[in-house]
């Protein structure tokens, strides 16, 4: 890390120590600045997201800009309430004390964003970090350079670099250097599990708390009693949004064998309807982020029987929405389609006979980030939800739980640590400071030595 960057980080620490970021009015004003900037740069962001990922303005609004505005608005409406001390009960032993919890800023925090939703997945935690009263270092993904440039412009135009600092460049080099030479008070990372493990290890050496929003193989189960037409539409629209480059997209579909053919036909119909039978030129269909990811995804097309799609063009970073069937006889752990997060427009279909068979397949990749179930049977719904460990999910829907700011979003185990969105974003960047205030007018001698003969009384008080 350069001396210049080290000096800027120290200035951030000094600014935070002044307490200027703590008052409600300051936090509110910074959120309003961010909101105004987001609206002012709306067209710039459309162009950047189209350049990086071929996102349409409509998709960019729903999944990036509008999503972020909803988070800011919710925060502005509720911030004063979130900041208030929370009264809690006090036990008999400490009578007549009063107890409460304060939400204290953590300090200087590092936010590391991914490339697939480069605005939303970096600036949504930024909203929480601002609301909680922190100073913030932002590391956008270098793989979405157009969007990263607009985001940096937004920050530079509106915020002091002593308060919010954007650091660009190769994350594999910059992030380790940042963590080595400066002790952050929290690190928030969204991205791959492999990189998340490295960040976790580096943070542990300095006892830095982390939030890790990772990925995983999110299963989608379609029972025989599901509304198949609705299921097909809701699976297809989220699986192929952003060309499948979404952490909560259905990674694979487990469908009850007796309705497999019907579901596949309905999925094909939905894909044709959504992308006019020509995804390459479709207004609503994106592209793969770069050649490295394209080549990785191309390998998946060889791992099963292609029953729809499969066309591709490396020069345009295009892979058509593709459905691949995996017969039960090939459901082996060695198949990359069943062991690696696909993160692209390739949807494996796996038939199953019964609950135990499907559960066993899911169990090969425990703790998925998301789980989706399509069924009309409440008992099956309860059985599935209670039997599978997952970060969050939907019944008769897919991926849209992400857009509800009142739900905590995050993984567990292999898919992440911690959660955010809405109030949870404020909480993750706050320390819950416990305070007990005791009056001086009541000071019974039983609390003080000598304690001989007081055991019976202590047992009555402390139970």
First to last CA, the chain: 55
Tokens of 161: 């670099």
The helix/strand count (H/E) of the chain reads as: 17, 18
Quick check: is 142 catalytic? no
- State how far the Cα of 388 lies from the Cα of 368, in Å rounded to an integer: 9
Backbone angles phi, psi at 318, to 5 degrees: -110, 130
Q: What letter does residue 84 receive in the DSSP assignment?
A: S
List 75, 135, 247, 394, catalytic entry: 247
Are the C-beta atoms of residues 68 and 38 closer than 8 Å to each other? yes
- State how far the Cα of 362 lies from the Cα of 220, in Å rounded to an integer: 10
Q: What letter does residue 409 receive in the DSSP assignment?
A: B
Cα torsion 190, 195, 201, 206: sign: negative
Q: In 85-131, which ranges are E strands?
A: 86-88, 98-105, 108-112
Name 87's bridge partners.
100
Which three-class secondary structure state does DSSP give residue 342?
Answer: coil
Residues with Cβ within 8 Å of residue 311, at least 6 apart in sequence? 280, 318, 319, 320
Q: In 208-356, which ranges are E strands?
A: 210-213, 219-222, 252-256, 305-308, 312-313, 318-319, 322-325, 346-352
Sort strands 98-105 and 86-88 into parallel, antiparallel or unpaired.
antiparallel
Tokens of 60: 């960019």
Q: In 214-345, which ranges are E strands?
A: 219-222, 252-256, 305-308, 312-313, 318-319, 322-325
If one counts every other C-beta atom within 10 angstroms of the C-beta of residue 263, the result is 24
- State how far the Cα of 66 lies from the Cα of 402, in Å rounded to an integer: 13
Tokens of 414: 């292999």
Quick check: is 157 catalytic? no
List 59, 64, 213, 341, catalytic entry: 213
User: Which residues have a catalytic role annotated?
Assistant: 213, 247
């Amino acid at each position: 890390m350069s001396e210049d960057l080290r000096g800027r980080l120290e200035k951030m620490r000094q600014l935070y120590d002044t307490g200027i970021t703590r008052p409600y009015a300051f936090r509110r004003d910074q959120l309003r600045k961010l909101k105004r900037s987001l609206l002012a740069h709306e067209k710039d962001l459309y162009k950047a997201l189209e350049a990086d990922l071929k996102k349409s303005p409509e998709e960019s609004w729903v999944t990036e800009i509008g999503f972020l505005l909803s988070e800011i608005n919710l925060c502005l409406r509720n911030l004063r309430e979130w900041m208030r001390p929370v009264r809690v009960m006090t036990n008999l032993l400490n009578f007549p004390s009063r107890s409460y919890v304060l939400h204290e800023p953590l300090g200087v925090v590092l936010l590391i964003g991914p490339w697939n939703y480069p605005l939303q997945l970096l600036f949504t935690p930024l909203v929480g970090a601002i609301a909680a009263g922190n100073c913030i270092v932002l590391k956008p993904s270098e793989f979405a350079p157009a969007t990263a440039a607009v985001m940096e412009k937004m920050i530079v135009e509106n915020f002091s670099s002593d308060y919010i600092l954007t650091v660009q460049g190769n994350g594999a080099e910059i992030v380790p250097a940042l963590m080595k030479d400066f002790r952050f008070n929290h690190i928030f990372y969204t991205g791959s599990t492999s990189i998340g493990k490295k960040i976790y290890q580096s943070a542990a050496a300095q006892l830095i708390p982390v939030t890790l929003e990772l990925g995983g193989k999110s299963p989608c189960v379609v029972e025989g009693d599901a509304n198949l037409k609705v299921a097909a539409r809701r699976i297809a629209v989220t699986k192929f949004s952003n060309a499948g480059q979404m952490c909560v997209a259905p990674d694979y579909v487990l469908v009850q064998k007796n309705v497999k053919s019907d579901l596949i036909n309905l999925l094909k119909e939905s894909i044709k309807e959504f992308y006019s039978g020509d995804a390459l030129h479709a207004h609503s269909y994106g592209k793969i982020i770069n050649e490295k990811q394209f080549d990785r995804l191309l390998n998946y097309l060889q791992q099963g029987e292609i029953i729809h799609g499969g066309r591709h063009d490396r020069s345009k970073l295009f892979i058509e929405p593709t459905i691949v069937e995996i017969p039960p006889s090939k459901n082996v752990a060695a198949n990359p389609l069943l062991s690696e997060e696909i993160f692209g427009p390739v949807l494996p279909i796996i038939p199953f006979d019964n609950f135990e068979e499907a559960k066993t397949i899911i169990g090969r990749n425990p703790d998925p980030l998301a789980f989706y179930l399509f069924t009309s049977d409440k008992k099956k719904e309860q059985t599935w939800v209670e039997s599978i460990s997952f970060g969050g999910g939907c019944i008769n829907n897919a991926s849209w739980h992400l857009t509800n700011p009142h739900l905590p979003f995050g993984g567990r185990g292999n898919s992440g640590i911690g959660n955010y969105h809405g109030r949870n974003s404020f909480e993750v960047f706050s320390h819950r400071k416990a305070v007990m205030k005791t009056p001086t007018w009541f000071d019974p001698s039983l609390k003080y030595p000598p304690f001989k003969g007081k055991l019976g009384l202590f047992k009555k008080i402390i139970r």
